[in-house]
Chain A
Amino acid sequence: DTGVSQNPRHKITKRGQNVTFRCDPISEHNRLYWYRQTLGQGPEFLTYFQNEAQLEKSRLLSDRFSAERPKGSFSTLEIQRTEQGDSAMYLCASRPQGMNTEAFFGQGTRLTVV
């Protein structure tokens, strides 16, 4: 068990560029979450996958954001036409099947839009 892995750990991009982040969940965890966290705040929910199906999306997830989880394994989060307000830590979490299973988070991807 290598834990939840996120890449890259840090990303600096110019405003207007597209960025993509990757999350590799713990193997056999079929539930996967993306969260966004700004400085001094708790994480805010973005989207949730059960296997390959994207079942929930927050209103925070504007049309510039898209997430995928092909084949129900790793997931990607893409932000198009980045804005300075997108600067944040993007966190991925996974948990196994079951109503009351424990969630495990990755180390996050720190995005800075300049």
Chain B
Amino acid sequence: KQEVTQIPAALSVPEGENLVLNCSFTDSAIYNLQWFRQDPGKGLTSLLLIQSSQREQTSGRLNASLDKSSGRSTLYIAASQPGDSATYLCAVRGNNYGQNFVFGPGTRLSVLP
């Protein structure tokens, strides 16, 4: 059974800092990993999708890396802004548990002005 964990559960940083969010998964047989952002009471916004054959993906100030063999992914946010405050979720999809995504519990990020 795939299990996904995210560390830390919550993070508070001053504006302008660079930060790293961590995602770990137990079954390395994945098709891909996707990072999402969720604002309070809202749905999920896709940030980055990394294929299992890729090592990293970049979008603006975001960079996501994937180390499939060790079951880890990191989301790097450069020059954080108050508007980055949200919960960040990672999800994996693999060939051992059907077509669905398995989510971690999320990291709640607060960027202080």
Contact = CB atoms under 8 A, between A and B. Distances in A.
Interface string B18-32: 000000000000011
B46 A105 contact: yes
**Chain B interface secondary structure, helix, strand, loop or mixed?**
strand
B77 interface: no
B104 interface: yes
A42 B106 contact: yes
Interface residues of B, number: 25
A42 B105 contact: yes
Interface string A1-21: 000101000000000000000
Contact of B42 (A42, A44, A108): A108
A102 B49 contact: yes
B43 A105 contact: yes
A94 to B, nearest CB: 11
Interface of B: 4, 31-32, 34, 36, 41-46, 49, 51-52, 89, 91, 98-106
Most buried by A among B31, B32, B44, B49: B44
Interface of A: 4, 6, 31, 33, 35, 40-45, 48, 50, 55-56, 58, 91, 93, 99-100, 102-108, 110
A41 B38 CA distance: 12
Contacts of A55: 98-99
A56 B32 contact: no
A33 B98 contact: no
